[in-house]
Structure formats: C-alpha cells, structure tokens
Structure 1
Amino acid sequence: MRQNIKKLLYSSGFYHTVAKQLRLNKIGVLCYHGLTAKDSEAVNHIPNAFLHTPIKEFELQMKFISEAFNVLTLTKLWEHFTRRRELPSNSVLITFDDGYKTIYRLAKPVLEKYNIQPVIFITTENIGKYDLIWPDAVFLYYQDRTIPSKQFPDGYTANPKISSSPSQMDEEAIYDIIRWLKKVKNQKRLEFLNRIMSKPDFISRIPQECLVLNEDEIFQLSSLGFNIGSHTNSHSILSRMSAEEQENEIALSKKILEEITSKPVCSFAYPEGGAHDFNDVTIQLLKKHNYTSAFTTIEGYDGKDENLYKLKRIFVMGNLPIWEFCHRMVFSWPATYIR
C-alpha cells in the first residue's frame, strides 16, 4: 500500500515540488558502487548484488537530483568547507567506491547528460592485473561450481556453525572468509588471491559487473572532470594495520592514480568506512601525503563546520526504485540525519 502511494506521488511530480521547497543547509553525499544493465533480481549471483544499481534506476535518480537539487563538485564543496561558507541549499555530491568498470560503461553517459561530475574512489592493487577487487574474486571462487577441490586460505579455521567444507558454502560462510582475509597480512592474502586467479578459465567467467576500471578508462574519466580519489591500494581495513602499512596503502595508491591521471589526487575514502575502520594515525598520514578530504560510510549529512577527514555519506542501495529514492531524498534521509 505504501509503495503504491509513493508511486503515485512520484508520477504526479509531488516529490519534485517538495524538493524545490526544501532549505537543507547541509550536503548529502551519496555513496554508490557499481551499476548493472540488468534488473536488480537478475544480478543476485554476483558478490554484494545490493551494491549494483540498475542503470535505468540510476538515470532516473540522476535526472531527479539534477532537476530538484544543487549538485556540487568536490572542488566546490571543498571551497565552501575550507572558507566556512554556507552551502547552497539542498546540495548533493555523487561518489562511487571501488572503481567498477560499469562507471565508465554505464554511468558515464548518464552523468555527462546531466552535467554531474562525481568522485570515484579507486582501489589500485589490481588495475591492469586481475581486473577485479579481491573480495569479489574470493566470493566468485567459492561460488563457482566448476572449480573442483576448493580450499580454505592457509591459517583460516572454518566456523562450524556456517561451514564445514570449502566446496559447500553459502554467502554467510564466504563473507566470513573475506572478513578474515581483511585482518591478515597482505602477503598471506595475495598468496591466496594468486592461487584463486590461477584456476583455469576463472577470469573468463567473471561477471561484467565485477570488472574494474583500467588505466585508460581512469584517465578518460579524469579528463572529463570526474574527480579521481584513493580507496587504498588493497582495500584492507586501515585501523588493523601498523602505521608503516597504512602509509604504504595511502601513499602507493595516490602515486599510482597520479601517474595515470597526471593530476593531484587529494580525496580519499576509507575501506569499509565505519568509525572503527580508521584512526588518528590514518588521518595524520592522509594529511602528511596531502590529502585534503576523506569520506567515511558513517551515514549522515555534512555541514560547513565538518571535520574534512570524517565526512559522512548516505549509502544508496542498488535495489531502490525511483519512487523510494525520491521519498528518501525528500523526507526519510533529512528527517533521520539532519537535526
């Protein structure tokens, strides 16, 4: 019943009318990941399917915010924040995490159409190497029924409540392994990743939605004015690392992206992005390496007095129909996060 009402409100133009009457003095930074040319139900087989927005819905979302909100670039946002100036009412910034290839194939034409310049936070480790981020590789490996004699990573002990065999694993069990790999040394994780990627024909079966941007695509997006930011080198949780390991993640990813784009890389997004996934050492290192802003996944809006290294965002689920997205933009998210 509620969904039908929201559909009617959307088709009547009600959400557009209300949005233009809003006077929100904080910015909503929307956090996307990947996109898909399919309906959301058709991508349930891929890792974290809820992160991949159907392109039809994405275009409707971008059309709505371009008509009803003030869409800023990161440069404009940074200028307002560093000068402690009030933001334009109803400001929005679009961001993408991880650097999926669908940003180039599917999102780019839509973003150009509506003159939206997003921030794209890229994990650099597998650019031009394996062409997908390692958590997706682990998920696909255990889900691939054509691979015989699967193994657990060295040192991993299966939780008997969710898994007893590496050949018979549901999503919960797979994500338990991914969480474990995020805690171990990079060398151990890379050894397991290399073992996975060496399986015959594994790479050829990777879904299109899981592929990541290559160097040429990153360069072209940067040339269009899209802001390219770092999401570390290996997508590891920084707070679990030594200062030396954190610095390598922060400095190496910046170096790689600056070599690709020939532009300074000054924006950053913390992997996972929760309050416990980075620490004071992380922020000190970001400043040392000339990052000027860093984004979390802590949900909320950002005002002009915000800590630029703890910027909040609003997570956009991939399966949001347009009427639900509009309702949240106009009612639910402001009511929940702006006090």
Structure 2
Amino acid sequence: MLTVSNYHYIREDFSAPYPSIFGVTPTEFENQLCELAKIGEFINQSRLINDIDAILSSSINYILITFDDGLKEQYVLGKPILDKLKIQAVYFINSINYIEKVVSQVHKIHLLRLQIPTLMLLKMIENLSSENSFDLSQEDLKNAKLFYRYDDFDSACLKYLLNFKFTKDQTTKIIDVIFDDYYNRSTVVNDLYMTNAQLVELSSLNMLGSHTHSHFSLGLLKSSEIRKELETTKNFIDSFGHKNLITVSYPYGNNDSCKSPVPDIALEVGHKIGFTFERGVNHFGENHLLLKRYDCNDLIGGKNYQEKLLWK
C-alpha cells in the first residue's frame, strides 16, 4: 500500500498581518518525518513508477513525500532535512514561474490574503468585477468549506470563488490589479520560487514532477488547454536532459480538477502516475492516474491528526 504526504509552505515564521498560510516549520517537518518512519518505509519516485503494482499490493506501508508549487523554501529548508534522514521527495513544479517568470495566480491570492482582511478583499474583487458571479449556491458553499477546511468560512468562499467559479481570465484580470498595488512581481518570482540550478539538481536525482504549467484547475479547461498545461511542464523538465520519470500532481486535486478527460490526457502526454487530493491510503486496483494524497496536517505528527478519521 502507499501513503502520500503532501507539503506546501515550510518556514521558520508564519506571522503576518492576516495569517492565512498553513505550513510547517523545519522542526515540525523533521518531527513528522520521524513519526512517519515508525509506521512505514519511505520510497522515491523512480521506484514508485517502476514497481507501482507491487507497492500497491504490498502489506508494507510505503510512504512518499511530496511538495507542490516549487517554492524555494522547500529546497532551502526542506531538502537538508530530507538529506539528513536519507529520504527522497518529489517536488511538483509549475513551469510558468520559470518559462514566463511570473507569479502563479494561486500565490498572488495567498500573498494578498496575508495583507488584506478577507471581507475587504472580497469587496475589492467585487468592485473590479464586471461579472455577476458572486452568488455561491448551497452546493458551492458546502464544497468550499469541505475543500478549504483549514480556512474560516469567508476565506473558504473567497478561494472557492476565485479558483473554481471565476474563469482563469476573470481571476487573472482582477487579481493582477490588486496584486500590483502591494507587491513587485519580479521580486516575488525571485524570492518565492526555486532557481534553475536547484531544479537541475533535483532533476538529476529524479525528484521533479509536474504540477502543470499555470496551476489552474484542469477539469475546468478545454481538452486542448489541458494538454498544453501538461505538455509544457513535462517538456520543461525533460529539457534538463536527465530522462526523468515524471509523475503529475493535479492542482487543487478535487473531483472537478481531475475529472475526465484529465487523467486520460495525462497518460497520453507521458505520465504514468497522477496524484489527486482525495485523502486516503492507496491499495492495489487504484487508478494509477488518480492516486490519493493526504495533506501533511492530517497524518501522524500533523496539526490535525486524528487516527480514527483517517481513510484506511
């Protein structure tokens, strides 16, 4: 069987005017890895791809560590701990940050929420929007709270609105106007994302994976756009010349993000394994392109760990 633990931000200090990022400190990261080592055996990307069926059918609890978004802090603060414990992780990157040298919309939203109260940000977005898209249905409200379960209700609704109800063009147009009043884009790109040299090193170790080009929800895009999102990042990673065996982590990872034809196109592009954000342990018979992952907070050593709530 396979248990996958996923991480995003790893920082010494998460203080901000309006704290809204739920990450781990290096100490918490190392402590959790030590706890996970007690309940399973760590595995790397190469072995997972080559032995996937044997791993899923085994009674051994194999554990894979993953990071999403290609953040520099994951390399600077996370990799030394992994090296110390002799663990290899998979770093899923968005190629837009390197090819186009821009900040992902998801991170613009994260950074703005650190500086602006949620209701104020909602009002700013409403004033800039020419669309009548602010009415969330009861089903939307339920999905928002379920998916963004670490956020308060207003923040969950804000993120669901921007990431799943607005089109990518709507979100880009609105958020860019606000973002430029608070941040310098070039500075954020240089500070937030890994360098090419760091990517080259991870590529040489087959520790890179695709998080698509732009970090948009694939299931909301046209088939041609889905293919472009997947092909662009795979080709970018292949350009390092290390013949990586590349897996894919679908942005957001919920049902809307991973619905057909997303996994079929991922397979056609050359990915043998894909990860969702459905929480659970993976067993034999799982669709290899729709494997489950836990947020690190839900596993042993995490802030919200409750053994009885884990999917078995």
Equivalent in the alignment of 1:31:
6
State the 1:283 CA deviation: 1.4
TM-score by length of 1: 0.72
Pairing of 1:188-199 with structure 2 (within 5 A)? 188-199=170-181
Q: Deviations over 1:153-172 (max 9, x none)?
A: 443457599xxxxxxxx976
**Which residue matches 1:63?**
34
What is residue 119 of structure 1 aligned with on the other side?
A: 90
Q: Is the 8 Å Cα contact of residues 36 and 55 (structure 1) preserved in structure 2?
A: yes
Q: Residue 279 of structure 1 corresponds to which residue in structure 2?
A: 259
**How far apart, in 2, do the equivalents of 1:249 and 1:102 lie?**
24
| Structure exhibiting the larger radius of gyration computed from Cα positions | 1
CA shift in 2, pair 1:234/1:172, >3 Å: farther
Residues 204 and 121 of structure 1: CA distance in aligned 2, closer, same or farther (over 3 Å)? closer
| Residue 189 (structure 1) shift | 3.8
- Please give the secondary structure, in 1, of the residue aligned with 2:86: coil
Give the whole-Å Cα distance in 2 for the aligned partners of 1:202 and 1:222.
Answer: 29
1:199-238 deviations in Å (ceiling 9; x for gaps): 4754588699x81223222222223x25211111111111
| Corresponding pairs, count | 293
Judged with a 3 Å threshold, the aligned counterparts in structure 2 of structure 1 residues 261 and 218 are, in CA distance, closer, same or farther, namely farther
Distance in 2 between the 1:139 and 1:204 partners? 17
* Alignment match, 2:222: 242
| CA apart distance, 1:302 | 0.7
User: What is the CA-CA distance between 1:59 and the residue it aligns to?
Assistant: 0.9
Aligned to 1:295: 275
Residue identity (%): 22
**CA-CA distance at 1:120 after TM superposition:** 1.3
Counterpart of 1:16?
Answer: none
Q: 2:257 is paired with a residue of what secondary structure?
A: coil
Q: CA RMSD for the aligned pairs?
A: 3.7
Residue pair 2:48, 2:55 contacting (<8 A) in 1 also: no
Question: Is the aligned partner of 1:215 residue 2:228?
Answer: no
Partner of 1:37: helix, strand, or coil?
Answer: coil
Which residues of structure 2 form unaligned runs of 5+? 117-122, 137-150
Distance (whole Å) between structure 1 residues aligned to residue 207 and residue 216 of structure 2: 22
Which whole-Å CA distance do the structure 2 matches of 1:234 and 1:113 have between them? 32
Matches within 5 A, 1:122-271: 122-127=93-98, 132-141=103-112, 144=115, 152=126, 153-157=128-132, 159=134, 176-182=157-163, 183-199=165-181, 201-203=183-185, 211-223=192-204, 225-260=205-240, 262-264=242-244, 266-271=246-251
TM-score, normalised relative to structure 2: 0.77
Q: Which residue of 2 aligns with 1:337?
A: 311
State whether residues 131 and 211 of structure 1, in contact with CA within 8 Å, keep that contact through their aligned partners in structure 2.
no
- CA deviation profile, 1:244-290 (whole Å, cap 9, x unmatched): 11111111121222224643352111111112322221111111111
The answer to whether the 8 A contact 2:203-2:237 is kept is no
Q: Which runs of 5+ in 1 are unaligned?
A: 1-25, 162-169
Paired with 1:158 and 1:222, the residues of 2 have a C-alpha distance of 41
Question: In structure 2, do the counterparts of structure 1 residues 302 and 188 end up closer, same or farther at CA, with 3 Å as the change threshold?
Answer: same
Q: In the alignment, residue 337 of structure 1 is paired with which amino acid? A: W
| Aligned mates of 2:54, 2:257 — CA distance in 1 | 29
Counterpart secondary structure, 1:337: coil
CA distance in 2, matches of 1:301, 1:231: 21
Name the CA shift for 1:251/1:43 in 2 (closer, same or farther; >3 Å): same
